[in-house]
Chain A
Amino acid sequence: MNLFSWFGRGSAPIARERLQILLAHERNERDHPDLLGVLREEILALISRHVSFDPDKVQIKMDRGKSVSTLAVDIEIPNAYGAPGEVSQPRRARAKRMGSAATPTMDQRVA
C-alpha cells in the first residue's frame, strides 16, 4: 500500500477536487435557492414582450454536470403566419448550453 504513496498516488487530491466541485454547487444553491424559478420568470417576461405564447407550453430544465451545467428552454410558439391550409407546426425557440452563464461557480474549478 505504501508503494502508491511513493509514486504520489494518495487519494487526498481526489477528495479535494470532489469537495471543491460539490461546495461550489452547494454554496450557489444556498445563495440562490430558487435560481430556476427566477430564470424562468425573467426569460418568459422577455420573450412575451416579442411573441405571444401559452405559458403552459413552456419547459425549462437545468442539468447539472460535473464541470458545465446546461439550461434548456423549450417554448412552443403558435405559428400565426402559417400559409392557409397548412397544418400549423409549432415553432420552437430553443436555447441550450447556457450553463456557464447560469451557474458561474460551476466553472470555477481549480486544477
Chain B
Amino acid sequence: MKDKKSGRVLVVTSGKGGVGKTTSTAALGAALAHLGEKVVVIDFDVGLRNLDLVMGAERRVVFDLINVIHGVAKLPQALIRDKRLENLHLLPASQTRDKDALTEDGVAKVIAELRSKFDWIICDSPAGIERGATLAMRYADAAIIVANPEVSSVRDSDRIIGLLDSKTQKAERGECVDKQLLITRYHPWRAARGEMLAIDDVLEILSIPLLGIIPESEEVLRASNMGSPVTLNSPVSPPARAYFEAARRLKGETIPMHVPSESRGIFNKLFGRKAA
C-alpha cells in the first residue's frame, strides 16, 4: 500500500439502534469502492460486532481493532480485503466484553494510519451515546446520521447532533463536523397517507442537509442474509440506487434528490395491502 493518501473520516451514527447504521456503512462503503475509491469500513461495536457478518467476512476475521490498538497485531494483518471489490477493506471489532478495550489514543493512531492509506475511512458506530459511540465519532471529519422517520429515532438523532457538536475533536478545536442525514426504512405510501413523518418534517426538525432517502425494501434483508452489501447484491434495486446516489453526493457530485414515491397499484391503494 502506498502511504500517500489523506483520507476522509466518516462516522455513521444514530443514537438509536436498529435504524440501519451497519447496513448503510456496508452499502455506502461498497458503493464508494465500486466508484473507484479506496475504502475501509471499521466496526466500532466492540462486543457486538456485526459489520463482518453483513459484509460476508465473518469467517475471515483473524485480528481485530482491539488487537491493533493493543499491539497484538499490525494494522495490515487485521484488515480484511473484500472478495468482490479489491479496494474495499474491513477492520472488524473484537468480541471482547471489556468496554475499556478501546482507548482514545489507540483509536487516534489507527485512524491516522488509515488516513494515509485510504480515501475513505467509514466508522460504523454502536448504538447509544456511551464510550464506543463517542470514540467512533471522535476523529470524524463528517457524520452521516441515520434516522428512520419515526419519533424516537428523530429524537435520538438530535441528541447525537448535540454530541457531534461538542464531543468530537473537530468541535473541541472550534471547527464543525459536517453532518448529513440519511433517512432509511422510508415507506412512501405511509408518508403519503400521513401515517409516517414526511421527509420535510424530519429535515425541518433536525435542520441538517439530506444525504439520501433509502426506501424500505426486502432487498436490504436479502442482502444481509447473503452477507453482501445491498449495493453489490442487487445494484439496481431501489435501495441500492439510493445508496449509490448518496455515495456520489459524498464524493461531491450534485445529484437531484429522488424521493421514493408510491409504487403500488390501485388495488393495493384501495385495500391498504402492503407492497412487498
Q: Is B193 an interface residue (CB 8 A)?
A: yes
* Complex alpha-carbon distance, A75 and B26, angstroms: 60
B195 and A11 contacting across the interface, CB-CB below 8 Å: yes
Cβ contact of B162, chosen from A9, A15, A30, cutoff 8 A: A30
Interface size class of B (residues with CB under 8 A): 20 to 34
Task: Say if the beta carbon of B73 comes within 8 Å of chain A.
Answer: no
Mostly helix, strand, loop or mixed at chain A's interface?
helix
Checking B159, B195, B271 against A5 with a beta-carbon cut-off of 8 angstroms, the contacting residue is B195
Say whether A8 contacts B197, CB under 8 Å: no
A15 to B193, CA, bound (A): 14
Complex: how many Å from CA A8 to CA B195?
10
A26 to B195 CA separation, bound complex (whole angstroms): 25
Chain B 38-71, CB-CB to A under 8 Å as 1, else 0, gives 0000000000000000000000000000000000
Residues of A within 8 A of B155 (CB): 19, 22-23, 26
- Residue B272 at the chain A interface, CB threshold 8 Å: yes
- A105 CB–B CB distance under 8 Å: no
| Nearest B-chain residue to A22, judged by Cβ | B155
* Residues from chain B with Cβ under 8 Å of A11 in the complex: 194-195
Encoded as 1 (CB less than 8 Å from any B CB) or 0, chain A from 7 to 19 comes to 0111111011011
- A75 vs chain B, min Cβ distance (A): 35
Q: How far is the CB of B156 from chain A (nearest CB, A)?
A: 11
Smallest CB–CB gap between B213 and chain A, Å?
16
Q: Taking A18-B151, A30-B162 as contacts, is the C-beta distance between A12 and B205 under 8 angstroms?
A: no
Q: Most chain-B CB neighbours within 10 Å: which of A1, A5, A20, A27? A: A5
A-B contact pairs, 15 of them (CB 8 A): A2-B271, A2-B272, A5-B195, A9-B194, A12-B194, A12-B198, A15-B150, A16-B197, A16-B201, A19-B154, A19-B197, A20-B205, A26-B159, A27-B158, A110-B204
